[in-house]
Homo-oligomer: A and B are copies of this chain.
Amino acid sequence: MQRVTIMDVAARAELSPSTVSLYFRKPDAVSAAASEAIARAIEALDYVPNLMAGGLAAASSRVVSIIVPSVRNAFFAETVTALQDELGKQRLQVMLSHTEYKEHDEENLVRTALSWAPAAVVLTGLSHSAATRRLLRDSKVPVVEIWELGSPTMDMAVGFHHDQVGHAAASHLLQRGRKRLLFLGARLHEDRRAARRAQGFVEAARNAPDVTAEIIQHPAPASAEVGAMLLGEALHRFPNVDGIACSNDHIALGVIFECQRSGVAIPERLSVMGFGDLSFSAAANPSLTTIRPPGDLIGKEAARLIIARLAHLGAEPEQAVIDTRFTLLHRQSS
C-alpha cells in the first residue's frame, strides 16, 4: 500500500529522515532552505505519511475516538459534526462508534478505541461501567463526557443539566396558566437524559399548588408516530390535560399532527412544547415552543478542551466542566 516513505523524501531532499520528521511535527525548527527542499520532495514523490508508523513510534495517535448513542439522532449528529470540524483543523481524526443506546456495549467500544492509542476519547453521558472507567483511567487518555452534567465526572465534561430542562419546561407551562401537565416520553428506560428531563419536569410541576403532572411513555424510539400515539393515550387517560412537554420535538410534532386530526386547539386548549428545536420546529403549524440544546456548542467546547489538553500534555491536567446551558424558545404552540 505505502510505497514512498520518509526515507525517500529525505533522500530526494538530501537530508536525513529525522529532519523530514521534524518538518512535519515542528515546522519552525527546520531551516527555510530545508523546508523548501522537503516540500519539493514531498510534492514530487506524492508522499503520503504513514500515520500508523508515526503513532506507533510516538506511542500515541492523532485519533480522537467518539462514542455516541446514535448518529441518526440529530442532536449527536450536530455535535459530531462540530467536533470533527474543530479537531480537523488540528489534523486530528475522528473515529466514530455508536452504542445504539446499549450501554452494555460501551466497554467493548472503549477497549477497541484504546487499541488505537487515541489522543482523546469522547463519551456521551456520565453513566459508564466500572470496567470502562478503569480502562480509561489506566490508559491515561484524556476523556470528555458530553451532553450531560452532574456527578461524577471522569475527567472533563461539556453539557447541561437535564433536570433543569425539565424544570424550565414545567415553569413555562405553569407560567402560561397550565395546571394539568403531562410529559410524553419515548424510550425513557434507555435514554437516561430524557428520563432526567421527565423527572425534573414532574418535580418542578408538583412543587406548584393545584398542579398535577404525570409521565406517559412508549418503549419505541422517538418519532412523530409515537408522539401521535402518546397523545391519543394522553387524551384518553387525562381528558383534562392542558399542558404537554415532550421528550423531544419528534414526539411534539406527532402531537401537533394528532391534535389537528382530533380538532384539539393548540395552544388554546392545549399547550405543547418539545425539546431539540429540530429543523421543522419553527416552521410547524403552529410553530413549536421548544428547548434548544446547544449541540454544536457542545462539540466545539469538547474539541477546545481536547486541543488545550493536548497542548499542555506535561502540565497538571485541569478538570474542566463546562455548562453550556440551553435556551427556551417560546413559539405559538404554547
The reply to whether A46 and B1 contact each other, CB–CB distance below 8 Å, is no
Residues of B within 8 A of A72 (CB): 74, 77-78, 81
Instruction: List residues of A (31-70) whose CB comes within 8 Å of B's CBs.
Output: 46, 48-53, 55-56, 59-61, 63, 70
Which one of A112-120, A168-176, A197-205 is at the B interface? A112-120
Copies of this protein in the complex: 2
- Cα distance, A31 to B59, chains bound together (Å): 32
Residues of B within 8 A of A61 (CB): 52
Residues of B within 8 A of A141 (CB): 1
Residues of B within 8 A of A70 (CB): 81
Instruction: List residues of A (110-162) whose CB comes within 8 Å of B's CBs.
Output: 111-112, 114-117, 135, 138-141
Interface residues contributed by chain A, number (CB under 8 Å): 61
- Cα distance, A98 to B83, chains bound together (Å): 11
B52, B98, B135, B250: which contacts A52 (Cβ < 8 A)? B52
Q: Could you tell me which A residues sit within 8 Å of B by CB distance? A: 1-2, 46, 48-53, 55-56, 59-61, 63, 70-72, 74, 77-78, 80-81, 84, 88, 91, 93-98, 111-112, 114-117, 135, 138-141, 223-225, 227-228, 250, 253-254, 257-258, 260-261, 279-280, 282-285
